Structure 1
Amino acid sequence: MTAVLSNDASAILLTPVVAMLLLGLDLPPMPFLFATPCIADTASFLLPVSNPINALVLSEQID
């Protein structure tokens, strides 16, 4: 999902899905809800369009 959308949109869209899944499985949701945005951000790290800092890092590698 992060490859198509931005990391912020992925975190916003995936967080309720993860919450509902965990509540249905009777698992504590808080650790997973904190991990969901971190995973979405990590997945977008290699995409040059995800964050402005990624464009700077990738431009240094290309030169």
Structure 2
Amino acid sequence: MAEVAEKELETYVIETQSYIRDTTAFLNAIEREVTTPLAEGIILYCFDVVKLYPSIPKKEGLEACNSL
């Protein structure tokens, strides 16, 4: 079911302002958009969520999908 949900929501996810395709896209965005030097000690990172859909409560997940 997670694969079905991912396929159904893919279009919406890709169109969100916060969507970043992969690490390379993240690094390119940072290079373009961060023009002020970062303070000493700042660490930038990104992560990929694995198996997200099984952790979403069914009722709230359906409500969120229906609100699109």
Give TM-score scaled by structure 2 length.
0.33
Higher Rg: 2
Which structure would you say has the larger RCO, counting Cα contacts within 8 Å and 6 or more residues apart?
Answer: 2
Q: TM-score, normalised by structure 1?
A: 0.34
Q: Which has the higher helix share?
A: 1
